[in-house]
């Protein structure tokens, strides 16, 4: 599978610390460099038949239909697509007007991931989103009108401008709109963001973990009652609408990341990441050089990643795979470490897969880190 990072946004969300630029001045140069990188790295993936292609960012919907198609065409020079390939485009609601959707409906893109975040203007203002509540709802309906049934929306809970009643209304609206996939995250305060600065200056209240915990479990129960599978801590889908792209990440499959700041993984022990700087990225690719750094993952790193990622999903961690991949000493240590957690019900083993019961998923990362090799 291939991930393509489009490093541009119209404006900066208050909570975001991803790599992007709000200036589109270098867009053409970046897109040319992306195509050059696709060519230079065409032999990195062992599987030349792609199951998924994902445009992330940033905000890929700042591109035109022609620009999106030109990147897809470049990928097709070196790879083939499975008949039912999933091609996802992340999009902001304010970009999904009729003209753009008309162009997009004629492209190979068959799945949209819409950055809705909330259906309430007060939340959206705090987050400094470029759209309002009306656009959030309208963009989903328009996308469906243009034939996009495979939709995912992002929703953020635990905002200081929200509460459980508002959160319930957000979820009711989502169900009414018949969206089949939801990615939902607690509002997190990251360093070097506007939100962090506002909180430090006392302009905005710090999100409350207790409230986020309450809203997370309401989210889980509500969506399951409405036919969704809770298949990863932050992801919910109707049967048949799991994100194929993200599921591949969670199952440790190889992927190629193209574009500034994009990460790649060979499915085993090598990870790489591109420079998070548009101009440096352009300069390197113009000289036919890759703008990436590479690391070989130690046995400890590989073990920790399998534990961290697997325990965030309802598939869990395949103990047989762990036993085959790592030393007897490592596996015996894990068995010793999980003994008390199994007795306490914090972990369970089902069909030889180690899992966290869903009632403890809000603390999944902490539980997983207790099992890390250090």
Where does a domain end: 250, 285, 309? 250
More confident residue, 362 or 12: 362
In this structure, the answer to whether residues 212 and 77 fall within a common structural domain is yes
Question: Does residue 270 belong to any structural domain of this protein?
Answer: no
pLDDT band at 182 (very low <50, low <70, confident <90, very high): very high
Question: Does residue 359 belong to any structural domain of this protein?
Answer: yes
In this structure, the answer to whether residues 90 and 162 fall within a common structural domain is yes
Cβ contacts of 66 within 8 Å, gap of 6 or more: 103
Where does a domain end: 232, 250, 268? 250
In this structure, the answer to whether residues 204 and 133 fall within a common structural domain is yes
Question: Does residue 187 belong to any structural domain of this protein?
Answer: yes
**Residue 21: pLDDT over 80:** no
In this structure, the answer to whether residues 240 and 304 fall within a common structural domain is no
Question: Does residue 292 belong to any structural domain of this protein?
Answer: no
Question: Does residue 269 belong to any structural domain of this protein?
Answer: no
Question: Does residue 290 belong to any structural domain of this protein?
Answer: no
Question: Does residue 24 belong to any structural domain of this protein?
Answer: yes
- Say if residues 353 and 318 touch (Cβ distance below 8 Å): yes
Helix (H/G/I), strand (E/B), else coil: 358: helix
pTM: 0.93
Helix (H/G/I), strand (E/B), else coil: 42: coil
In this structure, the answer to whether residues 102 and 199 fall within a common structural domain is yes
User: Alpha helix locations (H) across the chain?
Assistant: 27-40, 65-76, 98-105, 121-126, 133-145, 164-176, 194-200, 209-225, 244-250, 278-286, 299-310, 319-325, 328-344, 364-369
In this structure, the answer to whether residues 239 and 311 fall within a common structural domain is no
In this structure, the answer to whether residues 139 and 53 fall within a common structural domain is yes
Each residue of 198-239: pLDDT tens digit? 988 888 888 888 999 999 999 999 999 999 999 999 999 999
Provide the number of structural domains found in the chain. Answer: 2
Query: CA 77, 82, 83: angle at the middle one, nearest 5?
Result: 115
In this structure, the answer to whether residues 237 and 312 fall within a common structural domain is no
The pLDDT score that the predictor gives to residue 190 is: 87
The pLDDT score that the predictor gives to residue 207 is: 87
Where does a domain end: 209, 230, 250? 250
The pLDDT score that the predictor gives to residue 206 is: 86
CATH label of the domain that carries residue 18: 3.20.20.70
In this structure, the answer to whether residues 99 and 169 fall within a common structural domain is yes
Each residue of 97-111: pLDDT tens digit? 999 999 999 999 999
In this structure, the answer to whether residues 83 and 208 fall within a common structural domain is yes
Helix (H/G/I), strand (E/B), else coil: 317: strand
In this structure, the answer to whether residues 188 and 329 fall within a common structural domain is no
Each residue of 315-341: pLDDT tens digit? 999 999 999 999 999 999 999 999 999
In this structure, the answer to whether residues 34 and 165 fall within a common structural domain is yes
Question: Does residue 268 belong to any structural domain of this protein?
Answer: no
- Say if residues 151 and 109 touch (Cβ distance below 8 Å): no
Q: Which of 202, 198, 189 is nearest to 159 (CA)?
A: 189
Only one residue has tokens 């890759």, namely: 290
What percent of the chain shows pLDDT beyond 70?
100
- Give residue 39's domain range: 2-250
């Amino acid at each position: 599978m291939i991930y393509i990072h489009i490093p541009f946004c119209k404006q900066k969300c208050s909570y975001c610390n991803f790599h992007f630029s709000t200036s589109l001045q270098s867009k053409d140069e970046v897109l040319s460099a992306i195509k050059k990188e696709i060519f230079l790295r065409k032999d990195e993936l062992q599987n030349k038949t792609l199951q998924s292609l994902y445009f992330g960012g940033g905000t890929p919907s700042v591109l035109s239909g022609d620009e999106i198609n030109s990147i897809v065409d470049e990928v097709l020079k070196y790879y083939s697509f499975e008949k039912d390939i999933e091609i996802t485009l992340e999009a902001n609601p304010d970009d999904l007007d009729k003209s753009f959707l008309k162009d997009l409906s004629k492209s190979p893109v068959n799945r949209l991931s819409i950055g809705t975040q909330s259906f309430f203007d007060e939340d959206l203002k705090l987050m400094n989103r470029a759209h309002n509540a009306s656009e959030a709802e309208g963009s989903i309906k328009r996308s469906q009108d243009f034939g996009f049934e495979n939709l995912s929306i992002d929703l953020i809970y635990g905002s200081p401008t929200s509460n459980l009643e508002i959160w319930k209304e957000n979820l009711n609206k989502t169900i009414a709109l018949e969206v089949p996939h939801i990615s939902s995250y607690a509002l997190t305060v990251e360093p070097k963001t506007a939100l962090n600065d506002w909180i430090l200056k006392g302009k905005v209240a710090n999100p409350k973990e207790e409230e986020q915990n309450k809203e997370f479990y309401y989210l889980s129960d509500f969506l399951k009652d409405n036919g969704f599978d809770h298949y990863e801590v932050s992801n919910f889908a109707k049967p048949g609408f799991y994100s194929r792209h993200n599921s591949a990440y969670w199952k440790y499959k190889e992927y190629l990341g193209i574009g500034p700041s994009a990460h790649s993984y060979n499915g085993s022990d090598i990870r790489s990441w591109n420079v998070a700087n548009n101009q440096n990225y352009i300069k390197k690719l113009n000289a036919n050089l890759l703008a990436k750094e590479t690391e070989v993952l130690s046995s400890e790193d590989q073990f920790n990643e399998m534990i961290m990622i697997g325990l965030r999903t309802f598939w869990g961690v395949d103990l047989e795979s762990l036993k085959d991949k790592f030393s007897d000493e490592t596996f015996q240590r894990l068995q010793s470490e999980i003994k008390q957690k199994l007795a306490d019900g914090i972990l369970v083993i089902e069909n030889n897969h180690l899992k966290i019961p869903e009632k403890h998923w809000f603390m999944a990362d902490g539980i997983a880190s207790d099992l890390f090799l250090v």
